[in-house]
């Protein structure tokens, strides 16, 4: 972020130093349009054609305010060399551990025991089972020979009570005692 702000400040100073009346707005618009085209290519198109057009717009915006053609070409070449140098810096210099401390590397996967949603749980709505433990208000219910963790709506239920599944949300099963329902 710091280097992004420094770059934004540097490009702003460049445009201000070479500003002629009425040109500053057009230079900024061309430069921002070039950045937007590069972002659009990266997000949607992905083949580089729109990004190339964006790069050309950025080069035109940098060369336009120059007092001579030679100066403008020099600025465009410096821009290209600076971008290439930045990419080479990222490629060849050793990685630092700063970003690994700021970003999350782990992912939640079924191999690690994480299951976000079991589609079979949706089919439990309306089915009946027997409480295998006391529900205070969470407990274990046995439905069709399988054990499930479930909760009541805050009511304590004794072991052995007949329960009915009234709602399933993700892996959360909500049950109700049969005598409450009637």
Q: Is the dihedral of CA 27, 15, 44, 53 positive or negative?
A: positive
Preceding peptide of 66 cis, ω within 30°:
no
Residue 90 to residue 94: CA distance in whole angstroms: 8
Per-residue pLDDT at 182 exceeds 50: no
Give pLDDT tens digits for 75-122: 889 888 988 888 888 788 777 777 677 777 777 666 666 665 666 788
Q: Give this prediction's pTM.
A: 0.45
Average pLDDT, the chain: 83
Give pLDDT tens digits for 34-77: 989 989 988 888 888 898 999 899 888 888 877 788 988 888 89
Residue of 52, 10, 13, 9 whose CA lies nearest to 34: 52
Instruction: Map out the domains of the chain with their CATH numbers.
Output: 2-100 (no CATH), 116-181 (2.40.50.140)
């Amino acid at each position: 972020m710091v280097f992004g702000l420094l770059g934004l400040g540097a490009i702003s100073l460049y445009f201000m130093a070479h500003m002629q009346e009425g040109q500053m707005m057009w230079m900024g618009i061309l430069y921002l349009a070039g950045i937007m085209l590069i972002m659009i290519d990266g997000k949607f198109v992905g083949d580089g054609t729109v990004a190339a057009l964006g790069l050309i717009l950025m080069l035109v915006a940098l060369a336009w305010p120059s007092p001579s053609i030679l100066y403008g070409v020099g600025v465009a070449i410096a821009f290209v060399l600076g971008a290439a140098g930045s990419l080479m810096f990222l490629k060849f210099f050793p990685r630092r551990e700063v970003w690994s401390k700021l970003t999350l590397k782990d992912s939640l996967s079924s191999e690690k025991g994480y299951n976000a949603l079991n589609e079979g749980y949706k089919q439990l709505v309306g089915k009946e089972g027997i409480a295998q433990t006391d529900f205070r208000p969470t407990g274990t219910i046995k439905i069709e020979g399988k054990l499930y963790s479930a909760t009541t709506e805050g009511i304590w239920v004794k072991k052995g009570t007949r329960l009915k599944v009234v709602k399933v949300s993700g892996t959360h099963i909500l049950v109700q005692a049969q005598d409450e329902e009637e």
